[in-house]
Structure 1
C-alpha cells in the first residue's frame, strides 16, 4: 500500500476488544493510516462490551451497528447487511477482523464480495470440531481473508495443510497477551479478589458459556456436580454469562448452585476487574479460548471443560489441561493442580507483548 491507508477495525464480542485495542494503538503510533472503529453490537450488555472502551482505552466506536442478539443466521445476516452499507459509504483500503465470532465471518464475507482486502487477527486456529459454530467461522474467514495473522506455529501448519498461499500468512504472536501485559498492573490494583470475598492465591475462577456445555441440562448438571465437590476445597468465583444464568434457571439447577456455600456467583465483570480476579487465582476452570491463553501467560493452572481446543499450544507448552466434561476427571485433575502437581508450563514464543507492533508492520508494508 502507498500513501495514507484507510482501515476499518471491527469488534463485536468480548474477545475482539482485547485483540483490536493494541492493534489500533500500534497502527496509530506507526502513523501510516487513518483508522475507524466499527462495533457490530453482537454483545450489547454493558459489562460484556461497552466497558471495554473504558478499560482498554479504546476510542469510542465511529460506527455502531447494534445488531444485538439472535440466532447465528440472524446475527450473521444483520451484520452482513449493515457492514456492507458501511463499506460502501467509507470505501476502506483494508478491514481488520479478529477471532471467530459471527461478526468476524460476516465482515470477511462482505469484504470478499466487495473486493476489499481483509486481515484476520488470530488466523489459523482449529479445533477440528465442526459442531462448534466458531470452527465454521474460523475456516471460512481464513479462506476469505487476504492477510492471515497467526499466533503460533500450529496455526501456520493448519493453514499450510489447507493449501493456503504462504504469502498470505504472517506469524505475529498472540495479541491478547499484549493487552494482558499492558493492563496487568491496573488489573491487580482493582483489588478484585477482596471485592469478591476471597484471598489472593486461595480461590478458583469458573467461566461457562459454550452451548455444548450450558444448553444440555445433563452436561450442565455434571459440570455443576464437579464444581460442587471442588468448592468444598476452595472458594470459586463464577462470573456467570447471561446465557449461562438463563440455562441454570431453565434447567432447575440455579437453586443447587445457590446452595453451594463456596460458589460465589456474580455478574459478568469488566476486563480489568476480571483480569485482576484471574491473576490472583490458584486454579481456573473454563470453556473459553481466551482464558486458556491468559492463564498460560500468567502461569496459572487451567482446566478446560471441553474435549478439544483450537489453542493446542496452551496444552503442549502452557498450563492448560483438557479435561472434558466428566465430573470425575474434572475433580481428579483439580485435586492434582491444587496439590501442586498441575502443569507448570511456559510462555510460548512471540507471546511477548509486541504482537500488535508486528501486525502494524505487516499492514504498513503489505502490497495487494
Structure 2
C-alpha cells in the first residue's frame, strides 16, 4: 500500500507520528509532504526529530501568507507531486490550510482521500479552520472521526456512510511518548520553568481572530498580565509579529514571555501547570488528557467533550479571564472521550482493507464509501 501524508503545522506533526510508526511496522510505502506552513524550527523540524518521524520526502516551502495566497502556493506545488506519485491514499490531517490544499489537489486528480480528525465543528464559519474542515469532510472518501460527537456531526451532514470512529491520534502520541520516559517530565521541563519554581499557568495565543484584531489582542495581553498566578506565554511567530506591528508589549504583571517548546518539553510544561490558557484546538484536548484545567479564549470549541465538569471553560471576553483561571480544579478524574491510544492501528488496518478491496476513485466524483 502506498500512502501519501500532507502536513504543515505543529498539531499535524503530532497526529502524523503514530500513523508513520504504524505504516513502518507494516512495511507500507509512506511518503510525507511538508507544505512548509510552519517552518520555524521549534514548530517544525524539532517535532520530526523528537517524535521519530522520517524527514519529509518533499518540502513545498509555502511559507507565510494570507489564506488564499498560501493555499494557492500549496495547490500549485502539490499538483505535480500527486501526479507523479499516484498513491493509494492521500491522508489529510485536521483543519489547516495544508489540509485544504491537499484535499482540493487530490480531489482534482481523483485520488482517494482519507481525512483524519474528521467531524469537528465549531459552527463558526468566520474561522478559516471551520471552512477548511467542511471542505475536507465533504470531499474526502473516508472520514476518520476521533470521537462519538464527531460521528454524530458527520451523520447530521449526511456523511455517515463514509465515516468511521477510530479515536484520537493525539492520545496515541501522548501515551507513547510518556511511556518512553522513565520518570515523566524529569529532564524535559523547560529551563525557564526550572529557573522559576512555583505555581504557574501556561498560555498560547495564535488564532487569526485573536492576533489580527489589535483591540482584542491588547485586551487578551492585558488579561494575561492580570491573572492571579505567573503566566508563561509561549510566543507563536504570528503573535510576535502582530505585537510588534501593533506596539503591544509582552511583559508586565503576571505575564512572562517564552519561546515555543518542542513536543516533550511542551507536554512536561503542560502537565506541571495549574492551568492552560489558549485559543488552540489541540491543546484543549492535551490539557484534558493530562488533567489540567483549561480556559479557552473563544466563544465556541470544536472539542465540546472538553467542557465536561468545567475542565475547559470558554472565555470569549478577555476581561473575565482572571476569574476563570482562579476557579477551583474540578473534582475527580477527567473524562476520557478520545479513545484508547490505538487510533493509528485502526486507521492503517482500514486503509489496507479498502486498498485490497480494489481500485478506488475519488469521492469528489460521486463515489459512495461504506464504513
Judge same fold: TM > 0.5, yes or no: yes
**Is 1:269 aligned to residue 261 of structure 2?**
yes
Query: 1:14 pairs with 4, 10, 34, which one?
Result: 10
- Three-state SS of the structure 2 residue aligned to 1:180 is helix
Distance in 2 separating the partners of 1:205 and 1:75: 30
- Aligned equivalent of 1:85: 80
Distance in 1 separating the partners of 2:204 and 2:12: 18
- Aligned equivalent of 2:23: 27
Change (3 A) 1:205 1:114: same
Distance in 2 separating the partners of 1:318 and 1:121: 27
- Three-state SS of the structure 2 residue aligned to 1:36 is strand
- Three-state SS of the structure 2 residue aligned to 1:149 is strand
Structure 1: stretches of 5+ with no match in the other structure = none
- Three-state SS of the structure 1 residue aligned to 2:247 is coil
Query: Is the 1:317–1:345 Cα contact (8 Å) retained in structure 2?
Result: no
After superposition, what is the alpha-carbon deviation per residue over 1:330-362, rounded to whole angstroms, capped at 9, x for unaligned?
A: 12211114xx4x475623345321111111111
Query: Shift of residue 252 of structure 1?
Result: 2.2
Distance in 2 separating the partners of 1:25 and 1:205: 30
- Three-state SS of the structure 1 residue aligned to 2:90 is strand
**Is 1:213 aligned to residue 210 of structure 2?**
yes
Query: Shift of residue 61 of structure 1?
Result: 0.8
Distance in 1 separating the partners of 2:284 and 2:99: 21
Query: Shift of residue 228 of structure 1?
Result: 1.6
Residue pairs, 1:260-299, within 5 angstroms? 260=253, 262-299=254-291
- Aligned equivalent of 2:127: 132
Residue pairs, 1:325-340, within 5 angstroms? 325-327=317-319, 329-337=320-328, 340=329
- Aligned equivalent of 2:225: 228
Distance in 2 separating the partners of 1:318 and 1:134: 25
- TM-score, normalised via structure 1 length: 0.91
Query: Is the 1:99–1:138 Cα contact (8 Å) retained in structure 2?
Result: yes
Distance in 1 separating the partners of 2:342 and 2:237: 33
Distance in 2 separating the partners of 1:79 and 1:317: 41
Aligned residues: 352
Change (3 A) 1:160 1:302: same
Query: Is the 1:238–1:264 Cα contact (8 Å) retained in structure 2?
Result: yes
Change (3 A) 1:364 1:188: same
Query: Is the 2:220–2:318 Cα contact (8 Å) retained in structure 1?
Result: yes
Distance in 2 separating the partners of 1:353 and 1:178: 4
Query: Shift of residue 107 of structure 1?
Result: 0.7
**Is 1:315 aligned to residue 303 of structure 2?**
no
After superposition, what is the alpha-carbon deviation per residue over 1:13-46, rounded to whole angstroms, capped at 9, x for unaligned?
A: 1110000110111122233x21111111111111
Query: Is the 2:171–2:338 Cα contact (8 Å) retained in structure 1?
Result: no
- Three-state SS of the structure 2 residue aligned to 1:188 is coil
Distance in 2 separating the partners of 1:118 and 1:220: 37
Query: 2:189 pairs with 189, 192, 196, which one?
Result: 192
Tell me how large the CA RMSD over aligned residues is.
1.7
Query: Is the 2:112–2:141 Cα contact (8 Å) retained in structure 1?
Result: yes
After superposition, what is the alpha-carbon deviation per residue over 1:226-268, rounded to whole angstroms, capped at 9, x for unaligned?
A: 21221xx3221111011111222222221xx3233x3221112
Distance in 2 separating the partners of 1:52 and 1:63: 16
- Three-state SS of the structure 2 residue aligned to 1:336 is coil
Change (3 A) 1:15 1:350: closer
Further displaced range: 309-318 or 191-200:
191-200
Query: 1:46 pairs with 41, 48, 62, which one?
Result: 41
- Aligned equivalent of 2:365: none
Query: Is the 2:118–2:150 Cα contact (8 Å) retained in structure 1?
Result: yes
